[in-house]
Amino acid sequence: MSRETIRGGVRFTLPGCPNALAWTITTDLPPDPDAVVIHCTINRREHDPDFIETIEAFVDDWRQGLEAGMKA
């Protein structure tokens, strides 16, 4: 996994992933500087629904972890 600091957050990538999975976590940006945004992409327009479900669960796990950390 690679980690890169970007404007307003951080970008993670999985360089060895055949789908080029990448996700960013940003905050403090207009139009809602208090929002935390998680954006995840792959390099395919369409994919197996089961695979998409696992990506959605992965992003949701990140969201839950971030929310728990912000409340602590």
Phi/psi for 64 (5° steps) reads -60, -40
3-state secondary structure of 53: helix
Determine the pLDDT at residue 35. Answer: 86
Residues 25-40: pLDDT tens digits? 999 888 998 888 999 9
Residue segments in the chain with a per-residue pLDDT below the cut of 70: 72
Determine the pLDDT at residue 69. Answer: 84
- Interior/surface letters 11-41, b for 16+ CB within 10 angstroms, e for the rest: eebeeeeeeebbbbbbeeeeeeeeeeeeeee
Determine the pLDDT at residue 18. Answer: 92
Predicted TM-score (pTM) of this structure:
0.82
